[in-house]
Amino acid sequence: MRRFTLRVLAAVVLCLACGCKTLESLGKLDPFHQSRPPLQPNRPVVIVVPVGLPRIEYPVMDPPSEAGLELERKLFYDKSLSADGQVSCGSCHNPRYAFSDNRSIAIGVGFKKHRRHTPSLFNVVYLKSFFWDGRTPTIETQAVEPFLNPEEMELAEQELLKRLNDNSIYQDLFERTFGPGPISLLKVGRAIATFERTILSGHSLFDKFNSLGNRRALSGSAARGLDLFVNRARCAVCHQVGKEYALFTDGLFHNLGVGVTAKGELRDLGRYEVTRNDADRGAFKTPTLRNITQTRPYMHDGSIESLADVIEF
């Protein structure tokens, strides 16, 4: 059974890679296809994982491909896929700010305030759960949530699918990427997830020092800082640094006392909202510290302005 599935998948991939016979024959029968110019072939794309990051297993079903990346980039930056036509994923996850924004709290459609700070999307492929409270376990299900979320893009599922299915550019790109058939929420999730698997950050001076053993990559004071970070200050207990790679997160949830009112009450219950476990009150996922100078302000509520203030905290 497994071998059969693999053979079918391989056929699909080959088919996408070299121009699809089935599509051509469909075109002869179906006037809808006949009226459109033939689809351009899709080609696989090799993503080189930077030094300092673990290997990535790209799903057999969804290898990175030329048409796929064109589609995914378009979906990610398309403001017309929000309720008021003003917000895209890229509005909040802006590459200029390491795929975050420079706001304390995100602003969604109709200038509505989100309750949390936008996290960077660098290296999200390695996360075991998504969002500050880890409420979503897979990258595919996470990827469609922002389109539908009233604090972000606020489109009803049917409206999102209608806008995509009515658009001939999206029809072509989805068909080149996934083969024929209507555009579904599942395909949108798979497309965005494939894009997220390419947002990688590594190969920094730190990575050359840590993973390649290049002792001269860091200055003396930077190397002493790293020693402090890993050993004496024990930051790396949570912001983990391995020998071969470093993600700067343990993927776990901790309460650091951020977001407490003057009366000592929590403004956001964090992980507790997912588990209903008292120990998780006010606990949030450890964020990565890569590209940290570009992602200010800091913490789940964006309440700390500068890195110096985080260290004091």
Binding site residues, ligand HEC, CB under 6 A:
87, 89, 91-93, 106-108, 114, 116, 118-119, 121, 124, 127, 130-133, 142-143, 146-147, 152-153, 192, 196, 233-235, 237-239, 254, 256, 258, 284, 286-287, 289, 292, 295, 298-300, 307, 310-311
Of 201 and 295, nearer to ligand HEC (C-beta) is 295
CB of 218 to ligand HEC, least distance (A): 16
Looking at the Cβ atoms of 209 and 248, the one nearer to ligand HEC is 248
Q: What is the CA radius of gyration of the chain?
A: 22
Which residue, 35 or 158, has its beta carbon nearer to ligand HEC?
Answer: 158
Residue 184 exposed, middle or buried by CB count within 10 Å (0-12, 13-18, 19+): middle
CA 45 from centroid of its chain's CA atoms:
19
Q: How far is the CB of 36 from ligand HEC (least distance, A)?
A: 27
Q: What is the DSSP string of 213-276?
A: --GGGS-HHHHHHHHIIIIIS-GGGTS---SS---S--S-EE----SB-TTS-BS--BTHHHH-
Determine the length of the chain: 313
Nearest distance from residue 103's CB to ligand HEC, in Å? 9
Query: Alpha carbon 48 to chain centroid distance?
Result: 17
Q: Which is nearer to ligand HEC, 87 or 246 (CB)?
A: 87
Q: To the nearest whole angstrom, how small is the minimum distance from the Cβ of residue 147 to ligand HEC?
A: 5
Least CB distance from residue 173 to ligand HEC, whole Å?
A: 16
Show the CA angle centred on residue 312, arms to residues 307 and 313, nearest 5°: 95
| CB 297 to ligand HEC: min, Å | 8
Task: Kindly give the pairing relationship between strand 253-254 and strand 284-285.
Answer: antiparallel
Nearer to ligand HEC, 17 or 310 (CB): 310
- How far is residue 237's CA from residue 233's CA, in Å, rounded to a whole number? 9
Closest CB to ligand HEC among residues 39, 118? 118
